[in-house]
Amino acid sequence: MFIKYFIFGFLSKTLASFDDAVTRIPIIAQLTRTRKCRIAFSIGNLGAVTAIVFLAWFFSSLLEQIPYTHIITTILILLLTVAIYFDFFEKKEEKIIEKQEKKITYQVSTARFFKLMLSGFVVSFITLIDDAIVLIPVLLGPPRTDLYAILGIYASTIIQLILMVYFANKLASCKHLKEIAIIGLLILAGLTYFEVF
């Protein structure tokens, strides 16, 4: 049971974040030039993921009271897929990210460390907020399975952080990230509809 829900959480977070990589990679490359910058950004990112997980858990607890939850969450995932296909979120995210880019400085005092941490949180939260929709079906089970899924979500987050912080420039040159995200979300919608997990 642990492995099943851990994998579900891991895959859901991984698939949901492919589209975010396109938006976040350029600023991550700038934000993480020094070791302190990487630490600050990572703390901000983990804080944002925690907030997103809480949002997803809150909405999943509301949805649990409604019949046909799997159909509702499938529709939400499909709507998100359409939004990603038509770049609905991208322009809004880019404006906020541009504001954060202007605040970036590379000599890291304690005050600047917290500013970088806040920038990491804001950039991550804005780009990850749509992930809450994908994480809702992951958190529809009893508390124990929710915990296993959340561990999977954090494992995926840590791996993505390592990849983005250390390989941002290489990832930026990858093509078809959006298409991979769309295919992944369609698969996830199918798994949710047929209640595979």
Please provide the distance, in angstroms rounded to a whole number, between the alpha carbons at the two ends of the chain.
Answer: 10
Average predicted confidence (pLDDT) for the chain: 82
pLDDT at 36 over 60: yes
pLDDT at 156 over 90: yes
Residue 104's pLDDT band (cuts 50, 70, 90): low
Q: For the chain, what are the domain ranges?
A: 2-193
Identify the pLDDT of residue 159: 92
Rounded to 10 degrees, the C-alpha dihedral 103/106/109/110 comes to 60
CB environment 118-133: b (16+ within 10 A), e (fewer): bbbbbbbbbbbbbbbb
Rounded to 10 degrees, the C-alpha dihedral 122/54/137/83 comes to -20
CB environment 22-38: b (16+ within 10 A), e (fewer): bbbbebbbebbeeebbb
pLDDT 10s digits, 55-67: 999 999 998 888 8
Mean pLDDT value of segment 160-188: 78
For residues 39 and 116, is the Cβ–Cβ distance under 8 A? no
DSSP character at residue 65? T
pLDDT 10s digits, 106-118: 555 777 788 888 8
Mean pLDDT is highest, among 38-42, 45-49, 89-93, for: 45-49
pTM: 0.83
